[in-house]
A and B are shown apart, each in its own frame.
Chain A
Amino acid sequence: MQRFDIVPQAGAQRDLATQLHVLKRALRSGGQRLGGVIPVSQIRAYANLIPRFGQCADARLTASNSFKHSREFFLNKYFDKNSYFPLSL
């Protein structure tokens, strides 16, 4: 498992305009990605992330690399109606 952490936005938990959480990869001080082994039973739900494109999306992005090359992501609560409610809490 690789870990993603919530990035506080201007003191709030979510981005103010979209009301979505902003996430980024957790890194060690040396720059390696932070992760670990956990039991499957700790998984609770599927989550969907959308790369945070910002003002201008990089034209080199494709469906297969957009994930790897993006630094920040929106945790997309609108992905399904079931996780919408817990993620809006």
Chain B
Amino acid sequence: MNSLALFLTVFVACAVEAVEALTIVLAAGVTREWRSTLQGMAAALAVLAVAVAVIGPALTLVPLTGLRLVVGALLAVFGLQWLRKAILRASGYKDLHDEGAIYARQVAAARAASGGGRRGVRDWYAFTLSFKGVLLEGLEVVFIAITFGDNQQNLGLAAAGAAAAVLVVAAVGVAVRAPLSRVPENTMKFAVGIMLTSFGVFWGAEGAGVSWPGNDAALLAVIPATALVALGYVALLRRAAAAARATAAGVERSAA
């Protein structure tokens, strides 16, 4: 895997998570109070920085084969979860991820919540909403950056990809002051699911002792093959849904 591919994979995966975190921070800041929201965000970023500082170097002490087995298994399981949701969304079995709708829900909940400060924070609700949102989405960023970076023995570049994604999304968010609902998030999530699953399969099998035909070049077959399988499942599910709808319509007509 070359440096550009590592950077881009981590960048896209982390950008998706950053967009989701931005929606929550905006909802808390616009409806409640910016100072407490930014305090919550800063506290979450501090926790994430400590996690990276502790876990990142610790993982470099683990032998590469063992690391690839464990990280490959985790990535394959994690990627499978992403891909499953992305396929269900693309085939119409699950609602598409809509940042506009999520923002509206968060704003309504924030308006309904009672106010009040605690522990030096003026608006505790805004603080905790922002803290939880940034921490949860940030954990996914940290997980992806560390697993990819450690496996490629280039944690610095993976961290740079993650940081660039967060900075770009934050800058665009500050500029437009609205949730980034025009970002093709569902397509990006589909692509990230394919990448996470492909790398998980590749590294997991390598960690289990396999020699891939063509060594690292096998990834050039594994990634498109995973994409083809995912698209094939989308087509199958769409066809099944259309057939079920046609059958239901036929039953309704004959009953009437």
Whether chain B is bound by chain A comes out as no
**Residues of A with Cβ closer than 8 Å to B?**
none
**Residues of B with Cβ closer than 8 Å to A?**
none
